[in-house]
A = this chain, B = another copy of it.
């Protein structure tokens, strides 16, 4: 091109990370979509509630860095599908605590199992040492220090 063109898009970290994220998540996405008709935002909310138990939308937002509108909509859908219930805080009536229903817990446990196996499969392509380092670096890049 116009000057010596030693730029390689395939090495550009944001691009590479995106491609890896997309490709590596595809098959898992297919599962929660097919099995429960969920969106990514929805399974993320589900996972947060499954892992940490009862919490507010705000708490989820802080941990996941998802925008509050996404969470609001995901919660609405999960509620419509009877996967969670809301409960207003008596002391501060702006707050709503979210809890998984039995159906929600069942979905969480199911998907958690899938995720674990899936992750094991991905990680299995590398040595334990390498995968540990990868996770460490990714956490660093993600700002999850």
Contacts and interface: CB of A to CB of B under 8 A. Distances in A.
B137 A134 contact: yes
A51 B9 contact: yes
A130 B129 CA distance: 12
B7 A142 contact: no
Interface residues of A, number: 55
Contact of A9 (B20, B47, B135): B47
Interface string A2-37: 110101111111111111111111001000000000
Contacts of A126: 137, 140
A122 B21 CA distance: 17
Interface in A73-125: 105, 108-109, 112, 115-116, 118-119, 122-123, 125
Given A13-B123, A20-B141, 17 more contacts: A2-B109, A5-B50, A7-B112, A8-B51, A9-B48, A9-B51, A10-B139, A11-B119, A18-B21, A18-B25, A19-B65, A19-B142, A20-B21, A20-B139, A23-B65, A23-B143, A125-B141
14 contacts: A1-B51, A7-B112, A9-B44, A9-B51, A13-B119, A16-B139, A16-B142, A17-B138, A20-B138, A20-B139, A22-B65, A24-B142, A130-B133, A133-B133
